[in-house]
Amino acid sequence: MGSGNLNPILKKIAKAAYNLGDHNDPLNAVLAIAIFKGINRPLFTMMDKESDPQVKKYAAFREGLTEVVAASTYILTNKLLVNPVSKYLQKKSGGSLGKITHGVEFLGVCVSAVFLIPLACNLLLNPIMKGVAKITGKKKQTDNKLDIKENVVPELSKPQVSQQVSNLSSIKGPNSLLQVLQNKYTPYNGGNMKVGV
């Protein structure tokens, strides 16, 4: 790559950086974060090889949907609230409309992140996820179709308490607690440690 090709590329990068610096709205930053999270978090969730595929799909879809709700909330807050509030504050204070607008945009992003996005997610995510589950028709599997052949272990019964345990107050001496516990919790050999067939 020669120096002749490098100058136009550097000029484009400088122009983009200048435009971003000149119009550095808080909305641009949070939208960029929401877009990257909406792409990368589902991808990393799907790359987990140890998780159940259905659980991975559900979690990835929910994470992507959360970021769509977040980005939409940021945009709606900016479009609906920033201009009216900025103009009102400019009339009351007589300050610079540009500085007031930047301040209100920042406050709008903060209010969205702290209050509006969690509220929107609580209201929207569960109904959307239930609707998607109904559309895809994926229901939880029942145990009726399972055909697992294993050794059935009989129900364990409680061990019989010896006669000595009924008269615990009669045991005295330095090892009395040990004797009481040994008599109370007699070993039970009804368990089966067999693995496989």
Give the DSSP per-residue string, 179-196: HHHHHHS-----------
Tens-digit pLDDT profile for residues 27-67: 888 988 999 999 999 998 888 888 888 888 888 999 999 99
> Interior CA angle at 149 toward 145 and 150, to 5°?
130
pLDDT at 120 over 50: yes
pTM surpassing 0.75? no
Residue 18 neighbours by CB distance under 10 Å: 10
**Confidence tier at 23 by pLDDT (50, 70, 90):** low
Between 76 and 3, whose confidence is greater?
76
What are the domain boundaries of the chain?
8-144
Selection from 12-16, 17-21, 109-113 with the highest mean pLDDT: 109-113
Q: Cα(first)–Cα(last) distance of the chain, in Å?
A: 68
Tokens describing residue 97: 């409309």
Inter-axis angle of helices 97-111 and 53-77, nearest 10: 150
